[in-house]
Chains A and B, each alone.
Chain A
Amino acid sequence: MTTTEKTKKPIYYGWYVCAATLFIGFVAIGARNSFGVFVVPMSDEFGWNRFTISAAAALGVLINGLSQPFFGQIFDRTGGRKMILISIVVLGSATAMLALTFHILFLAFMFGIVVSMAQSGPAPSNTAALMARWFKRRRATAISINSSALSMGGMIMVPFSMFLLQATNWRVAWLALGIIVLSSLPMAYFFLRERPADKGLYPDGDPAPPVDASGVKRRETLGPLEVDTWKQSFKTAPIWQMAGSYFVCGTTTFVMSVHFIPFAIEDRGVSGATAATIFGYMMFLNIFGALGAGILSDKLGGTKNLLAFAYAMRGVGYLVLLTVDSVLGLWIFASIAGFSWVATPVLTSSLTADVYGTKALGTISGITFMFHQFGGFGSVLLAGLLFDITGSYTLPFAIVGALLLPAAISAFSIKERKYSSRYQTRVPTPAAGD
């Protein structure tokens, strides 16, 4: 038996980068998710009404969405490692400093601006771009693991904050959350690396590209639309198709995040606890939906078909929600929508990387994410307005649900086989030129 046969292959370093971004995203998003826990105790102490404290949070949503493209550009220009390290320091420190809140303007500045901007550093749009550098064959799987931090953050960090608050007080709880965010700094420092070449590796841990008989080394396959700057991508059709459907994604998820529980209670007559159970179940399914979409995309290909399917299924969920006037309709909707909730960002990020390459991916993903946030912001306002006028959620849900059909068609019509690097044949280049 040779040495090569005896030696087991070590875990590809990209998986450590993936695990590190998972943990960073988990604590960063979890700390932000936890804001809702602090609403009541902080309002009680300072005598703020809900509108006042909500304004600080709404400012945060807006700032977070607007800052994504800028952080994406920093990611593309300076590299993800430095930016994520600095973001963690700022995010952790600012979260801890929320313990010093003495005025609503302090909260609005610290949470609405500083925390929300810093959170754009390790945001999924950037960490997905980092994953796209480390993985090619298993890109969607890595992005899906990375994206499951969104659900994990909500599922573990929020209850943790809630009990910490009960055991101590809101100032200690903010301080502890800040320290937990800062605790991800060593992981980020030791494990995050910009690209496989930094570790002498190739994407996915694959061996060096083969050299053919004529001495020509085969290099990484490139898609015909691979870009150096984000501006070039917006002159092509696929980005508009993806951004358009991503806008609908934001529209259909934000509106449910805000209005599902009131709808279940007021329109379907279920108890608050049942409504929350169904919503919690839907969030739990996120993880499986994200992982399933990533693995299927890598194994079967046809990412745009899966994306179109996810939108179409979400549309069916909306149809069931509006037509089945019972608690069963809510459960069916939660089952269908839960699987598609985080599947769409995973598939969109993976497809964007496959079509446009990784050079400007941070900025491109940041801009598409901004579309997503704008869609969500508009849908929440529209649903609230129409509810006030009609006294029901039927019309706003029907409007946003109907948008899922063009979103599915838009995703399905992407010419993936023509533009995705996955479907291109390898380009031979002289070895000396590499």
Chain B
Amino acid sequence: MMASMISFILAHQGDAADPELLRWIKIQLDHIFGSGPWAVVAVMGIVILAIPVFITVVYLMQAKRRAAVAPMNQEAQEQERVR
């Protein structure tokens, strides 16, 4: 019984994955990418690293907008203080 506690996906709680499910996922991915593991590692590695890169790029692209809004915010705060 104790052994069964490990062999599952706890997507709800964040624990280890079920070996049966892992086998199934692997078969599905093999169908898509072929059986070369490095191809899948490369594709998934790029997907994982793309997330922070994307967020950083969006943040940098918004720099002008933030800079334009900042003086207006200061102005509004100044007016509020005067009031």
Q: Residues of A with Cβ closer than 8 Å to B? A: 3-4, 7-11, 16, 19-20, 22-23, 26-27, 29, 32-37, 39-40, 50-51, 53-55, 57-58, 60-61, 119, 123, 150-151, 153-154, 156-160, 162-164, 166-167, 180, 183-184, 186-187, 190-191, 200, 207-208, 211, 215, 250, 253-254, 257-259, 261-262, 272-273, 275-277, 279-280, 283, 286, 341-342, 345, 372-373, 376, 380-381, 384-385, 388
Q: What number of residue pairs across chains A and B have CB atoms under 8 A from each other?
A: 212
Bound-state Cα–Cα, A276 to B18, Å? 9
**CB closest chain-A residue, reference B3:** A50
Q: Evaluate contact between B4 and A258: CB separation under 8 angstroms.
A: yes
Interface size on B, residues (CB 8 A): 54
26 A-B interface contacts by CB (under 8 A): A7-B69, A7-B72, A9-B65, A9-B69, A23-B51, A26-B51, A32-B16, A33-B9, A35-B17, A55-B2, A58-B5, A61-B5, A150-B11, A150-B14, A158-B25, A159-B44, A160-B45, A190-B56, A258-B5, A261-B20, A280-B25, A283-B9, A286-B12, A341-B12, A384-B4, A385-B1
Q: Quick one: which of B1-53 are within 8 Å of A by CB?
A: 1-27, 29, 37-38, 40-41, 44-45, 47-49, 51-52
Query: Contact: A50 with B16, CB < 8 Å?
Result: no
- The answer to whether A39 touches B24 (Cβ under 8 A) is no
CB contacts (< 8 Å) of A4 on chain B: these are 72
By the criterion CB–CB under 8 Å, are B55 and A191 in contact? yes
CB contacts (< 8 Å) of A32 on chain B: these are 14-16
- Whether the pair B41, A163 counts as a contact (CB closer than 8 A) is yes
Asked whether A60 lies within 8 Å of B15 as measured between CB atoms, the reply is: yes
Interface pair A156/B48, CB less than 8 Å apart: yes
Nearest A-chain residue to B54, judged by Cβ:
A19
Pick from B3, B10, B69, B80: contact of A254, CB under 8 Å: B10
The secondary-structure label for the interface of chain B is helix
Residue of B nearest to A11 (CB): B62
Q: Is the CB of B10 within 8 A of A257?
A: yes
Given A58-B2, A187-B55: A159 in contact with B15 (beta carbons within 8 A): no
Q: How far is the CA of A9 from the CA of B14 in the complex (A)?
A: 37
Q: Which residue of A lies closest to B29 (CB)?
A: A159
Tell which of B26, B59, B77 has the most Cβ of chain A within 10 Å: B59
Most buried by A among B12, B37, B51, B77: B12
> A27 vs B50: C-alpha distance in the bound complex, in angstroms?
13
Distance, CA A283 to CA B25, complexed state (A): 12
CB atoms of A254 and B52 under 8 A apart: no
- Could you tell me the distance between the alpha carbons of A32 and B15 in the complex, rounded to whole angstroms? 6
Residue numbers in B under 8 Å from A187 (CB-CB): 52, 55-56
Q: How far is the CA of A380 from the CA of B59 in the complex (A)?
A: 44
Chain A residues near B3 (CB-CB < 8 A): 50-51, 54
Tell whether, in the assembled complex, residue A160 and residue B9 are in contact, meaning their CB atoms are under 8 Å apart.
Answer: no
CB-contact partner of B37 in A10, A164, A280, under 8 A: A164
A384–B4 Cα gap in the complex (Å)?
9
CA distance A250 to B73 in the complex (A): 45
Q: How far is B68's CA from A26's CA once the two chains are assembled, in angstroms?
A: 33
A162 CB contacts on chain B under 8 angstroms:
22, 25-26
Q: Output the least CB separation between B33 and chain A (Å).
A: 9
Which residues of chain B have C-beta atoms less than 8 A from A257's C-beta? 8-13, 15, 18
Give the residue of A27, A53, A207 whose beta carbon is less than 8 angstroms from that of B48.
A27
